[in-house]
Amino acid sequence: MNNPEISSSAKPTGLFFGSFNPIHLGHLCIAEYMLNWGGLKEVWFIVSPQNPLKHKPSLLSATNRLDMVREAIKDDHRFRASDIEFFLPQPSYTIDTLARLGEQYPRRNFILIAGTDILPTLHKWKNYQILLNDYRFLIFPRFGSDNHPLLEHPAITLLDAPRMEISATFIRQSIKTGKTVKYFLPAGVYQLIEKWGFYL
């Protein structure tokens, strides 16, 4: 575990990495589930400027996406929006972000939150073996990704969270084609998208 000498007393804090392009109700439902059933005290949304394994031509600026996350969680003290990866070399890698967070917050026990869809490509992550050795993963199910061998790894816990198949891609495409998506998004996020004309 990360910082094993303090792990028993450190505050368990979930790290939910993503582009959040945009953040939607599926993200928030998963985060709340992890708080209630994953033994976490807080969930931090780590807004990623650039995923080294993905290319998204429709990606909004990091600042705009961070603003939407902040708007989405502003009334819940259990959640935090983090821009830490904005200040790391790009592209950012999870192992480097964790190292920086560990330096800044030594009294936190950081636990990664992710879907089963990351498992087939986890071996491509920078220093993935160190991640599995030093950190815990709380994994939620995604359709078609429930039988990967890594689910047997001791660092990985699969929780029976509801399958939230709302996708940011669907939301962006819907907005672009003139569909209404206000009930897929926190009200404040929907208002920001409408105000600034995002994804049109």
The pLDDT of residue 56? 64
Query: Nearest Cα to 61, choosing from 78, 77, 49?
Result: 49
Whether 78 contacts 66, CB under 8 Å: no
Distances (CA, A) of 99 to 60, 69, 102, 184: 26, 23, 5, 34
The pLDDT of residue 55? 61
- What is the pTM (predicted TM-score) of this model? 0.92
For the residues 136-148, what does the mean pLDDT come to?
87
The pLDDT of residue 1? 37
Strand-pairing partners, residue 133, are none
Which helix (H) or strand (E) is 140 found in, with range? strand 136-140
pLDDT digit string, tens, across residues 64-86:
999 999 999 999 999 999 999 99
Tokens 């879907």 label which residue? 115
Q: Which percentage of the chain shows pLDDT scores above 70? A: 92
**CATH number for the domain formed by residue range(s) 11-164:** 3.40.50.620
Each as own residue / partner, the long-range contacts of residues 117-122 (CB below 8 Å, 24 or more positions apart, any chain) are 117/142, 117/144, 117/145, 119/145, 119/148, 119/150, 119/151, 120/145, 120/148, 121/53, 122/150
Crossing angle of the two packed helices 187-196 and 62-73, in degrees rounded to 10 = 150
pLDDT digit string, tens, across residues 22-50:
999 999 999 999 999 999 999 999 999 97
Residue 52 pLDDT exceeds 70: no
Whether 124 contacts 166, CB under 8 Å: no
30, two tokens: 């998963």
Write the single-letter amino acid at 154.
Answer: P
Crossing angle of the two packed helices 62-73 and 25-37, in degrees rounded to 10 = 60
- Average pLDDT in the chain: 92
The pLDDT of residue 53? 62
For the residues 108-125, what does the mean pLDDT come to?
96
